[in-house]
Amino acid sequence: MKVQPRGTDGSLLASLPWTTGALVISLVPHVPYLPIWITTAFIACAVWRYVIEKRRRMLPSRWIRGGLALVCFLGVFGTYSSISGVGPGSALLAIMAALKLLETRRRRDQFVLLFISIFLVMSSLLREQYLWSLPYLIGGILIILTAWLRMSAGESETAKQSFSTSGRLLLYAAPMAIAMWVFFPRLASPFWAVPIDTSRGTSGLSDSMSPGDISSLSMSDALAFRVQFDAEIPESRDLYWRGLVMTRFNGRTWTGSEPRVGTPIEDQIEFRGEAVSYEVTLEPTRQQWIFALDMPREVSLARVFMGQQQQLVNVTPIEQRIAYRVVSHTDYIVQADLQAVYRDWYTSIPDDGNQRATELAWQMRADAGSDTAYINAVLAKFHEEEYFYTLQPPALGSNPVDRFLFDTRQGFCEHYASAFAFMMRSAGIPSRVVLGYQGGEVNPMGGHLIVRQSDAHAWTEVWLERYGWYRVDPTAAVAPERIEYGVQAATLDGIGQTWGFTAAPQFLQDLTMTWDALNAKWNEWILGYGPDTQNSFMEWLGMDNPNWRKMLLTLVGSVIAIILIISGVMMLRYRPPAKDGASILYNKFIRKTGLQRRVGETEQEFALRAMTDSKLAHRIVTSVTIAYLDARYGIADDDALTKLRTAVAAIP
């Protein structure tokens, strides 16, 4: 093998910043996901390489490079314990691109780096496909293309010219990209799918609930789902988005039974009142819960079943954004009959612990006389006594219910729901805790409802004769505004103020709403462009019975048409070089001589002929010819052109 020279001569000084810049830009979307050492090593390699070039040093030897490559490979493997998948794949790509810089000696190596940066830019789509990904993609490719053009640019070409050339290239490519996107047949069962990064996937809901363990709840603005109602949006107090149900309490923690597909539960629900139908676009949760308004009657998803506690469960975790239609009734009766075995189950509490709360429950139940009166009494206790709604409650330790009810008296929905359900069970009333979302924000631009992670909520259901499972939200007794106006209002009005929360200015809210509406459309039309949408779009375009054959034919046809149109435009816009300013003036001079310029006759030869055969003065012929040669082949600046114009104007 031929050993490559390792010396540098500074010839890459001009182009290295472009290549490195392109690489850095392609790395940006990956940085939040990459381990910090990869970003650091990347920057270090870039700086190292630049210093080598600047000081005309030697590139690191093959042994050093090989050693570094091995170390980095092992580092990636150690970080991810794998080398396949989006995370380790992009980490490996990024770090190897940085190492490639260390053996970049020629233009050809830089082209390889630019290829890699294009790949990195595109692989950011494997992580996220937000609306802002589009401007990033376009900008990134634009800059990489510019860097590419800079590699082969002549001395006279400015960076601005290269930039506009790459912009033009993208513009020419855009119609073809759009045609391919629209017409390329989408298959119901694709041959391949984007692997989801396993490090991702967050939800506002966890499978268990331990009030008191968490001493503060973050107000995550992340989107949970969007809802588009067919008719009017129901009242905020009816917007209980049912998620999962907790039935077991061990004194500290509420847990649900495993979601189980059992006997049809729908029979036990009696739907009343008017139906509400709507479409939910759910962000990936990596959980199986499907959210719907209490109480769902129909869901458009095929692989969704209703669990024992009326929760909707998908067969597999939600890995990708999905949209589904639901019909719900906000007025309903569930399980008017409850078997004794279930009553026992729903009233079971641990024998020891939380003694004060148990005793209080017995006493209050005895005082109240009936179950309903008892429920009202407990709610009234929350409402009238000094209980506070806060997102930063103190920790509770063991016997959390006791401590919360009698000592701290501060908490958010989980605390109240847990304490309330415990009080119910102590008094022998079947009860359970429901986790889901409550409320949501109406987007006036899109007319849809935005439900965020900060809208996550916990409430309780108690079982009463004839009423079945009846929803009781103890948080509403403490902070009614939480239910009427949302979390933000509840925290602002009270303790929140001391923490310095202030409402965002109006224009900022408008901006957020517009952005959200745009994102909703983006999800609906761009990311949600699947087999169904494509088929209906094709029909709308006038295609009978769309199938993949017809779409492919249309695709090929439209690509050919686009190429023809673009080349036609380019041909029409092409101006032969003879049309430049200098040659127009020179042609004027030729006409004035009354002679024809012969094919292949140089300016000097023509000048000699003009001196003998035309009436023009020798002086004029000479001055025009010299000025023309200078303006066309010499410095060719405006100055030279002005001189030529003056010389031609002097022709009588």
| Least Cβ distance, residue 59 to another protein (angstroms) | 24
Give yes or no for residue 218 binding another protein (CB under 8 A).
Answer: no
| Least Cβ distance, residue 636 to another protein (angstroms) | 6
| Positions 604 through 643 that interact with another protein (CB under 8 A) | 604-605, 629-630, 632-636
Q: How far apart are CA 550 and CA 562, in angstroms?
A: 18
Q: Which is nearer to another protein, 605 or 613 (by Cβ)?
A: 605
Q: How far apart are CA 385 and CA 478, in angstroms?
A: 9
Q: How far apart are CA 120 and CA 360, in angstroms?
A: 63
Question: Interface with another protein by CB under 8 A: which range of 28-36, 136-144, 390-398, 570-578?
Answer: 570-578
Binding residue (CB under 8 A) for another protein from 583, 587, 614, 622? 583
Q: How far apart are CA 43 and CA 39, in angstroms?
A: 6
Give yes or no for residue 600 binding another protein (CB under 8 A).
Answer: yes
> What is the full DSSP assignment across 542-567?
T-SS--HHHHHHHHHHHHHHHHHHHH
Q: For the packed helices 159-183 and 548-573, what is the interaxial angle rounded to 10 degrees?
A: 150
Pattern 436-475, another protein, x by CB under 8 A: ----------------------------------------
φ, ψ for residue 445, nearest 5 deg: -75, -50
**Which pairing describes strands 388-389 and 410-411: parallel, antiparallel, or unpaired?**
parallel
Catalytic residue among 72, 371, 413, 455: 413
Question: Interface with another protein by CB under 8 A: which range of 247-255, 279-287, 360-368, 601-609?
Answer: 601-609
Q: How far apart are CA 446 and CA 400, in angstroms?
A: 43
| Least Cβ distance, residue 611 to another protein (angstroms) | 16
Strand partners, 182: none
| Least Cβ distance, residue 621 to another protein (angstroms) | 15
426 and 349 Cβ atoms separated by less than 8 Å:
yes
| Least Cβ distance, residue 610 to another protein (angstroms) | 15
Binding residue (CB under 8 A) for another protein from 603, 608, 643, 651? 603
Q: Which is nearer to another protein, 505 or 577 (by Cβ)?
A: 577
Q: Which long-range contacts does 520-526 make (Cβ < 8 Å, 24+ apart)?
A: 520/226, 520/281, 520/443, 520/446, 520/448, 521/446, 522/130, 522/131, 523/226, 523/281, 523/321, 524/281, 524/323
Q: Which amino acid is at 418?
A: S
Q: Which is nearer to another protein, 392 or 583 (by Cβ)?
A: 583
Give yes or no for residue 576 binding another protein (CB under 8 A).
Answer: yes
| Least Cβ distance, residue 580 to another protein (angstroms) | 7
From first CA to last CA, the distance across the chain in angstroms is 72
| Least Cβ distance, residue 18 to another protein (angstroms) | 24
Catalytic residue among 329, 415, 448, 457: 457
φ, ψ for residue 148, nearest 5 deg: -60, -45
Q: Which is nearer to another protein, 273 or 577 (by Cβ)?
A: 577
Q: Which long-range contacts does 618-623 make (Cβ < 8 Å, 24+ apart)?
A: 620/647, 620/650, 620/651, 621/593, 623/647, 623/650
Q: Which is nearer to another protein, 270 or 601 (by Cβ)?
A: 601
Question: Which tokens hold the place of 446?
Answer: 């899109």
Give yes or no for residue 282 binding another protein (CB under 8 A).
Answer: no
> Where are any strands of DSSP class E within 423-531?
431-438, 441-442, 449-452, 456-464, 468-472
| Positions 381 through 440 that interact with another protein (CB under 8 A) | none
Give yes or no for residue 577 binding another protein (CB under 8 A).
Answer: yes
Catalytic residue among 371, 402, 455, 473: 473
Residues 6+ apart with CB under 8 A from 476: 237, 482, 483
Binding residue (CB under 8 A) for another protein from 355, 602, 642, 646? 602
| Least Cβ distance, residue 632 to another protein (angstroms) | 6
Give yes or no for residue 165 binding another protein (CB under 8 A).
Answer: no
Q: Which is nearer to another protein, 500 or 576 (by Cβ)?
A: 576
Q: How many positions of this chain bind another protein (CB under 8 A)?
A: 20
**Which pairing describes strands 296-299 and 240-246: parallel, antiparallel, or unpaired?**
unpaired
Cα angle 196, 202, 205 (rounded to 5 degrees) comes to: 140
Question: Interface with another protein by CB under 8 A: which range of 57-65, 255-263, 436-444, 572-580?
Answer: 572-580
Using a 10 angstrom Cβ sphere, with 0-12 exposed, 13-18 middle and 19 or more buried, the burial of residue 405 is buried
Q: Which is nearer to another protein, 32 or 576 (by Cβ)?
A: 576
| Least Cβ distance, residue 640 to another protein (angstroms) | 8
Give yes or no for residue 32 binding another protein (CB under 8 A).
Answer: no
83 and 77 Cβ atoms separated by less than 8 Å:
yes
Q: Is 473 a catalytic residue?
A: yes
| Positions 513 through 542 that interact with another protein (CB under 8 A) | none
625 and 600 Cβ atoms separated by less than 8 Å:
no
| Least Cβ distance, residue 10 to another protein (angstroms) | 18
Q: What burial letters (b/e) apply to 277-287, b meaning 16+ CB within 10 Å?
A: ebbbbbbbbeb
Binding residue (CB under 8 A) for another protein from 36, 188, 302, 599? 599
Pattern 343-382, another protein, x by CB under 8 A: ----------------------------------------
Give yes or no for residue 601 binding another protein (CB under 8 A).
Answer: yes
Collapsing DSSP to helix, strand or coil, 233 comes out as coil
Question: Minimal CA–CA distance to 310: which of 238, 249, 262?
Answer: 262
Question: Interface with another protein by CB under 8 A: which range of 284-292, 478-486, 518-526, 596-604?
Answer: 596-604
448 and 228 Cβ atoms separated by less than 8 Å:
yes
Residues 6+ apart with CB under 8 A from 265: 306, 307, 308, 310
Tokens 């769309």: give the residue.
546
Q: Which is nearer to another protein, 362 or 633 (by Cβ)?
A: 633
Q: Which is nearer to another protein, 395 or 578 (by Cβ)?
A: 578
| Least Cβ distance, residue 170 to another protein (angstroms) | 25
Question: Interface with another protein by CB under 8 A: which range of 116-124, 139-147, 172-180, 592-600?
Answer: 592-600
Collapsing DSSP to helix, strand or coil, 456 comes out as strand
Q: How far apart are CA 466 and CA 338, in angstroms?
A: 10
| Least Cβ distance, residue 584 to another protein (angstroms) | 13
Binding residue (CB under 8 A) for another protein from 43, 580, 614, 622? 580
Give yes or no for residue 578 binding another protein (CB under 8 A).
Answer: yes
Give yes or no for residue 294 binding another protein (CB under 8 A).
Answer: no
Question: Interface with another protein by CB under 8 A: which range of 94-102, 369-377, 424-432, 577-585?
Answer: 577-585
Which residues are known catalytic residues?
413, 457, 473
Residues lying near another protein in the complex (CB under 8 A): 576-578, 580, 583, 598-605, 629-630, 632-636
